A and B are shown apart, each in its own frame.
Chain A
Amino acid sequence: QKEVEQNSGPLSVPEGAIASLNCTYSDRGSQSFFWYRQYSGKSPELIMFIYSNGDKEDGRFTAQLNKASQYVSLLIRDSQPSDSATYLCAVTYAGNKLTFGGGTRVLVKP
């Protein structure tokens, strides 16, 4: 059983601070790693993906991947109240099948 684990939160972050979200996965054969944002009552929206070890930056977001430790993280710099949402980590393996974690709820307080 391929598993993706996330802390459910809520992760409370002051406005302007850095939010750090973590995700671990069980399958060493996992190929690509995605972060989706999901607002309450809405569908998942892609933030970014990563497939090589190291860091990948996109605007205020940075994804970090460590395949040896089976660990992927997302940093949100200069957090804004509009970043308050649930963040879903997802991992693909053969055939582009996505396995999702349960999500981390983030609350950014003004």
Chain B
Amino acid sequence: EAGVAQSPRYKIIEKRQSVAFWCNPISGHATLYWYQQILGQGPKLLIQFQNNGVVDDSQLPKDRFSAERLKGVDSTLKIQPAKLEDSAVYLCASSRGNRVAVDTQYFGPGTRLTVL
């Protein structure tokens, strides 16, 4: 079974530029998550999708960040305009999303963003 795919793996941009990240979840996984991990910290949830609907985006800075999952499969996360403090690793994760006791999340390799 293929894992969560993300691209690009690395991105360097200047502040005020825009950037987009792509994620393809594990086949059959209904729930998709985007996390931000700043160096030395644990991942922080930005947004959670169930199929193509948003479940939680309470920690997404909506003035500059946007995300979509139009067909309920792959997803894009966009930052426009980027700030220096957006430098981080952006992790995508997916889970089955069924009503099970434990719905385990599996992570992709991440995209390391550097904002200069």
Contacts and interface: CB of A to CB of B under 8 A. Distances in A.
B65 interface: no
Interface residues of B, number: 25
Interface stretch (B14-22, B43-51, B67-75): B43-51
A29 B91 CA distance: 26
B34 to A, nearest CB: 12
Interface string A90-103: 10100111111111
Contacts of A96: 31, 48, 95, 97, 103, 105
| Interface of A (DSSP majority class) | strand
Nearest to B100: A96
8 contacts: A36-B107, A43-B107, A43-B110, A44-B91, A51-B101, A95-B48, A96-B97, A103-B42
Interface of B: 31, 33, 40-45, 48, 55-56, 89, 91, 95, 97, 101-110
